[in-house]
Amino acid sequence: GEDVEQSLFLSVREGDSSVINCTYTDSSSTYLYWYKQEPGAGLQLLTYIFSNMDMKQDQRLTVLLNKKDKHLSLRIADTQTGDSAIYFCAESILGVTGGGNKLTFGTGTQLKVEL
């Protein structure tokens, strides 16, 4: 079955790097995503990685994928107060019983950036 797990909270100081971790169980994942949710707002797609990649970098964001361990991480360099939000990882599995893009989300990690 599908299960995506994240730690619930992370606190960092402004300017430090943040690393948010995620583990998943379904080895047939095709895409893995990171979404950001600010208070009272919807989900914003931050970045995604295809399952045959190990790493993807996009400005301050670095995504690392360890497919053997089914471990995904999001590193935010030079974390700012505006990065305070809930971060969700999600996996997408193609063509599951005709369900198409069925996303399975983690529980979300609340990132708090302190001055």
Where do contacts with other proteins occur on this chain (CB under 8 A)?
Answer: 4, 8, 30-31, 33, 35, 41-43, 45, 48, 50, 88, 90, 92, 94-95, 98-108
Nearer to other proteins, 18 or 92 (CB): 92
Residue (18 or 106) nearer to other proteins, CB: 106
Q: How far is the CB of 19 from other proteins (least distance, A)?
A: 19
Residue 86's nearest CA partner among 1, 25, 18, 15 is 18
Contact 95, 88 (CB under 8 A): no
89/40 Cα distance (integer angstroms): 19
